[in-house]
Structure 1
Amino acid sequence: MRTFFLLICILEIVSVANATSKKEEIHLVTFEAPPYLGEKLPEHGAGVYALREIIKKTNFTLKVTFVPPLRAKQIVNKDGYAGFFPVSLANLPSGFKMSRVFYRTPWMIAERKSSPILWEKTVDLIPYKIGNVAGYDLYKDQQELVNKKKLHVESASNDEANLLKLANKRVDLIFIEAAMFEFLMKTSPRLKPFQKDLQLNPRIVNLDEYGIAFKDNKQAQEQMAAFNKAITEEHFTRLISEYFKKHPALNP
């Protein structure tokens, strides 16, 4: 009887220890942006891999839900989500705070080689028909011209569809992240016939600085504080390189 009682006590202690040691989950929303983010990519892409490895150093674990870009800022407002990524400070919605910046990438114009775009300022793009993925925020000067109905921007469901519209001359140029362009032109069977027809314009639209948008509430802000202590841009970049060494076919 005494042995049985001791066994029960030990089991209770182990149960309490397991409960207290169980890590809390950070549930984030994101969207398809291969090779960095992708529900069907190995380990959900280079970006998710890097973030998961970094969050392992905290008392949290990472859970990611993929949705179309247009829905990301809508679904994240539901209970159970801590925030969404990637986000830049210029496009941070109200009710959220941005983590430390951990990734920088050029936002570019893709064009047909036969019809290169000559431009210096956003107003120079007014004569052209522009493609942009639904849910991708425009920059302030671009949005102002759209609101004034001076800049003609058409939506596409994703970056591959946007590039196909460009290749088929349905738009004159598109906005796209540089690595995304290189990856899709290299790997997409639908874009293979156009590999020699499309290129990136040499002028950078903007150098984006990305982080995670955390909700402005106590729980999410505690998670952001832990994340900010663990993350460095150098570590994130090193993990991205590590991912592409593991999956060289995905390297843009």
Structure 2
Amino acid sequence: MKLIGKTLTLAAAVVCTASLMASKTMAEPVQLTTLEWPPYVNSDGSGTSTDRVIEILSGAGIETTVQVFPWNRAVNLAAKDPAWLGVYPEYYSEADDADKGGDRCLYSKSFGTSPVGFAQRIDAPITWSDHADLTSYTIGVVSGYLNEARFDAMVANGELQTQEVTADDANLKKVAAGRIDAAVIDREVMAHLLADMPALAERLEFNPVPLAEHGLHICFENSDAGRALRDQFNAAF
């Protein structure tokens, strides 16, 4: 009986230690990457998307820290560095979706929306109702951004005349200066940027024909840890 008691005591100690270790691991904050893309994400990581992501993960009992990087680096870190378990806010791409045969990441449910269209000059608006109409224009895009499936395919095939920049504000300046006819941009991002650029705001407007309205997602690392976190995030809605 004494031997059994000692064995049970030892087993209980092992279980307790394992439980404490698990609790410690679970208590470590989850790290996500993001980009500066106000009003969704500001330079310090705050913003409407960050608020919503942290709110949902907090509902699942998960503490979260975020860090702002240039977009392409944010994507690569979340895909390849185990220290970072996801990147947001992302548009959905079936080609990247590990659940659909892709290999980059696992998409969460949509936690918000992004209305996408074209910035244009008020005195020289573009006119389009079909993608083929866009072949008449030179259009600014941001390097590394998904825009809309058919538009991006036409860019890749050389059917559209585009110029790349690294940030949305550069595109707005080029449109205002007449160096390009229009630029792909999120409507809320455009409004936010123009609030600090009154001279440009007097010359630019958002084209009334939408290109797309995207859901915003976290793209979780394609790993067991990423999948577990994605499932916890989705269940917390």
* Normalised-by-shorter TM-score class: 0.7 to 0.9
Q: How many pairs were matched up?
A: 212
> Which one of the candidate residues 104, 116, 119 is aligned to 1:107?
116
1:213 to 216, 219, 236: 219
Question: Which contiguous aligned blocks of 4+ residues in structure 1 show a shift greater than 4 angstroms?
Answer: 16-19
Alpha-carbon separation, structure 2, partners of 1:177 and 1:229:
28
After superposition, residues 119-158 of structure 1 pair within 5 angstroms as 119-158=128-167
Q: Give CA deviations for 1:55-97 in whole Å, capped at 9, x if unaligned.
A: 1122321121211123232222222111111122236623211
Per-residue CA deviations over 1:21-78 (Å, capped at 9, x if unaligned) read: 66232211111110110233xx611221222122112232112121112323222222
* TM-score of the superposed pair, with normalisation by structure 1: 0.77
What are structure 1's unaligned runs of at least 5 residues? 1-12, 232-252
Partners of 1:179 and 1:157 lie apart in 2 by 18
Name the structure 2 match of 1:24. Answer: 28
Residue in 2 that maps onto 1:82: 85
User: What's the % identity of the aligned pairs?
Assistant: 25
Per-residue CA shift, 1:74-132, capped at 9, x if unaligned? 22222211111112223662321111112122111110001111101111111111111
Q: Distance in 2 between matches of 1:224 and 1:123?
A: 38
SS state at 1:135 partner: coil
Q: CA deviation at 1:159?
A: 1.0
Aligned twin of 2:63: 61
The one-letter code matched in structure 1 to 2:50 is V
Residue 48 of structure 2 corresponds to: 46
Give the letter for the 1:207 counterpart: E
Tell me, yes or no, if the aligned pair for 2:49 and 2:89 is still in contact at 8 Å: no
Calculate the TM-score normalised by the size of structure 2: 0.82
CA distance in 2, matches of 1:151, 1:197: 24
Change in 2 beyond 3 A, CA 1:31/1:92: farther
What residue identity is the alignment partner of 2:157? Answer: K
Kept in 2: contact 1:107–1:205 (CA 8 A): yes
Query: Is 20-29 or 196-205 further displaced after alignment?
Result: 20-29
Given candidates 75, 78, 83, the residue that maps to 1:73 is: 75
Farther-moved stretch of structure 1 (125-134 vs 58-67): 58-67
Letter of the structure 2 residue corresponding to residue 28 of structure 1 = L
Q: 1:248: which partner in 2?
A: none
Deviation at 1:227, TM superposition (A): 0.8
Asked whether the 8 Å contact 2:92–2:214 carries over to 1, the reply is: no
Aligned-residue offset at 1:147? 2.7
Q: Which structure 2 residue ranges, 5 or more long, are not aligned? A: 1-15, 97-101
One of 204, 207, 211 as aligned partner of 1:198 = 204
Name the structure 2 match of 1:9: none
Q: Which residue of 2 aligns with 1:169?
A: 178
Shift of residue 143 of structure 1?
2.5
C-alpha RMSD of the superposition: 2.1
Q: Which amino acid aligns with 1:68?
A: P
Against the structure 1 CA distance between its residues 91 and 163, is the aligned structure 2 distance closer, same or farther, given a 3 Å change threshold? farther
